[in-house]
């Protein structure tokens, strides 16, 4: 017995020695190859001073001119690799997806406030893969738009309710857009129809999402560095952040549990395949499976409501700033659909200009200019440069979609760039970048496209969107966007009025 203990301790000592020697050798010899180029770091802080606190995508775009498609910086020891071209993003995040699909940092914050198991933030492990499989099966991957066919009626119904809200209160358009995109997600995810005014589930999801945005407090950030803090009792003085984390966690648990349980009851009562949740319930094999389904479906609202609100707001902004584009789309709608009914998702293939307009919305101001960071799970080399395990990889989607070599006059909103006309080949489809890459690409892509199309087409068929007028003068929106992971247009004014009394009557009639 004694001999085996001393054998075990010799092995431990040998192992520790090996690790120490490895660390010393790595420190003395440096990385096994050059990191991708970038601004010169300073000791300890690295490139902290080079990174602006907002609109980082604009700075990264300038760095491309100096250092090329693949730039790297270090932030207090954390290596960050910025990809400024579609080719580099595809090579690293798609072709080498097996080692570049993890998600980064703030592990403890996310754990403490309960988000670490949701899809957008979870590591690339078996839970993540199960969630993505579930969503892929029922929502489809890029191009599998037919997966949404069973939900067309629900999406159209919510879009019609949106038009009624706009008719009643056009000034509150951003609020109506958010309410509608959220309601569409809940319809598709759970078969749940949100009520007008205060709605229990919308309230639940909104509370959890806004809680997430306020989650990183000093306490949770300290817990990133000192994981032991995770275990201190929340009643101790100075540990109020733990109480807050507990509250936020309860909101996240409620967001996952309550709608799922409700969908379960509804599915057993109605016995129909009316939502992604109910479709999944029919296929459950065990508890682990159910856990994945619950979190996969529960991740849709937080994953989609902000980006969709941003995209539809960008559409409205573009219509104010580009009246000729609006008129052209309305001419197409009037010609193909007429004025007696609303456009439907099944009309999509007959409305090429409207389609091109939606693509241009994605390109002109992508909802997430830098996507969501990926994290490498293995050391690897790319174009001769060393990308160590644990590096964060950011794709500059904003730059890729404004590259003047690919999109001439990139600042102009011009749907024609995506049309095959006068023998000119359409410019590159922005969906190749705007929904992210590889094994973490957006699982809501088909729902996003269906929602954007139906909201934009129905708005234009019955409303005119023009500049607001103040003191007899037109108010021109700045066209600027906010900072942050999702970059919304800065608040702007506009006038949204029915195109005719017949259009107003049509709006009321569709939800009667």
- Binding residue numbers: 442
String of contacts with ligand HEM for each residue 282-311, x by CB under 6 A = -----------------xx--xx--xx--x
Q: Residue 243, SS3?
A: helix
**Is residue 194 part of the contact set for ligand HEM (CB under 6 A)?**
no
| Cα dihedral sign, 258-263-268-270 | positive
C-beta of residue 180 within 8 angstroms of C-beta of residue 164: no
3-state secondary structure string, 179-241? Answer: HHHHHHHHHHHHCCCCCCCCCHHHHHHHHHHHHHHCCCCHHHHHHHHCHHHHHCCCCCCCCHH
String of contacts with ligand HEM for each residue 366-405, x by CB under 6 A = -xx--xx-x-------------------------------
Among 38-46, 109-117, 315-323, 443-451, the segment contacting ligand HEM (CB under 6 A): 443-451
**Is residue 487 part of the contact set for ligand HEM (CB under 6 A)?**
no
Q: Which residues contact 111 (CB under 8 A, 6 or more apart)?
A: 230
> Which residue matches tokens 């080399």?
381
Q: Residue 497, SS3?
A: strand
**Is residue 46 part of the contact set for ligand HEM (CB under 6 A)?**
no
Minimum CB distance to ligand HEM, residue 485 (Å): 9
**Cβ neighbour number for residue 15 with a 10 Å cutoff:** 10
How far apart (Å, rounded) are the C-alpha atoms in residues 37 and 346? Answer: 49
Minimum CB distance to ligand HEM, residue 320 (Å): 19
**Beta-bridge mates of residue 470:** 473
How far apart (Å, rounded) are the C-alpha atoms in residues 442 and 431? Answer: 11
Identify residues 119-158 at the interface with ligand HEM (CB under 6 A).
119-120, 132
Enumerate the known binding-site residues for heme: 442
Minimum CB distance to ligand HEM, residue 18 (Å): 36
Minimum CB distance to ligand HEM, residue 363 (Å): 11
Identify residues 350-369 at the interface with ligand HEM (CB under 6 A).
367-368
Which residue number, 210 or 509, has a Cβ lying nearer to ligand HEM? 210
**Is residue 38 part of the contact set for ligand HEM (CB under 6 A)?**
no
Give the interface size with ligand HEM as a residue count (CB under 6 A). 27
One residue of 436, 463, 465, 488 binding ligand HEM per CB under 6 A: 436
How is 159-183 classified by DSSP, letter by letter?
A: HHHHHHHHHH-GGGHHHHHHHHHHH
- Which residues sit at the interface with ligand HEM, rule CB under 6 A? 119-120, 132, 185, 299-300, 303-304, 307-308, 311, 367-368, 371-372, 374, 434-437, 440-444, 447-448
């Amino acid at each position: 017995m004694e001999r085996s203990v001393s054998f075990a301790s010799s092995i431990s000592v040998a192992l520790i020695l090996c690790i120490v020697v490895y660390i010393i050798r790595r420190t003395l010899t440096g990385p096994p190859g050059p990191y991708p180029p970038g601004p010169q770091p300073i000791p300890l802080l690295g490139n902290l001073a080079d990174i602006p606190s907002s609109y980082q995508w604009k700075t990264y775009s300038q760095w491309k001119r100096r250092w090329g498609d693949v730039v790297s910086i270090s932030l207090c020891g954390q290596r960050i690799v910025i990809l400024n071209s579609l080719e580099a993003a595809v090579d690293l995040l798609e072709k080498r997806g097996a080692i570049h699909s993890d998600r980064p940092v703030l592990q403890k914050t996310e754990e403490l406030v309960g988000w670490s198991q949701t899809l957008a933030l979870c590591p690339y492990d078996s839970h993540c893969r199960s969630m993505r499989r579930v969503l892929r099966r029922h929502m489809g991957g890029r191009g599998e738009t037919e997966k949404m066919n069973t939900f067309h009626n629900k999406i159209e119904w919510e879009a019609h309710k949106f038009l009624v809200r706009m008719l009643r209160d056009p000034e509150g358009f951003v609020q109506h857009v958010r309410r509608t995109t959220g309601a569409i997600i809940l319809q598709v995810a759970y078969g749940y129809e949100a009520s007008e005014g205060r709605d229990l589930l919308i309230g639940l999801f909104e509370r959890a999402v806004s809680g997430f945005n306020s989650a990183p407090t000093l306490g949770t950030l300290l817990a990133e560095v000192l994981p032991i803090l995770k275990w201190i009792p929340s009643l101790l003085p100075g540990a109020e952040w733990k109480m807050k984390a507990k509250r936020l966690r309860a909101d996240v648990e409620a967001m996952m549990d309550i709608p799922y349980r409700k969908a379960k009851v509804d599915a057993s009562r109605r016995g129909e395949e009316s939502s992604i949740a109910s479709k999944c319930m029919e296929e459950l094999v065990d508890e682990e499976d159910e856990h994945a389904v619950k979190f996969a479906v529960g991740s849709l609202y937080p994953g989609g409501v902000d980006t969709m609100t941003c995209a539809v707001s960008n559409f409205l902004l573009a219509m104010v700033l580009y009246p000729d584009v609006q008129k052209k789309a309305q001419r197409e709608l009037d010609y193909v659909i007429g004025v007696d009914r609303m456009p439907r998702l099944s009309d999509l293939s007959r409305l090429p200009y409207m389609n091109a307009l939606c693509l241009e919305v994605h390109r002109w101001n992508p909802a997430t200019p830098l996507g969501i960071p990926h994290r490498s799970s293995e050391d690897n080399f790319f174009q001769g440069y060393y990308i160590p395990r644990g590096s964060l990889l950011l794709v500059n989607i904003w730059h890729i979609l404004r590259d003047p070599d690919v999109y001439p006059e990139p600042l102009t909103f011009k749907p024609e760039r995506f049309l095959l006309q006068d023998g000119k080949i359409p410019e590159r489809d922005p969906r190749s970048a705007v929904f992210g890459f590889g094994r973490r690409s957006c699982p809501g892509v088909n729902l996003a496209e269906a929602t954007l199309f139906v909201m934009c087409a129905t708005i234009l068929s019955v409303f005119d969107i023009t500049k607001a007028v103040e003191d007899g003068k037109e108010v021109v929106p700045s066209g600027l966007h906010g900072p942050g992971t999702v970059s919304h247009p800065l608040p702007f004014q506009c006038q949204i009025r029915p195109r005719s009394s017949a259009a107003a009557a049509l709006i009321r009639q569709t939800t009667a």
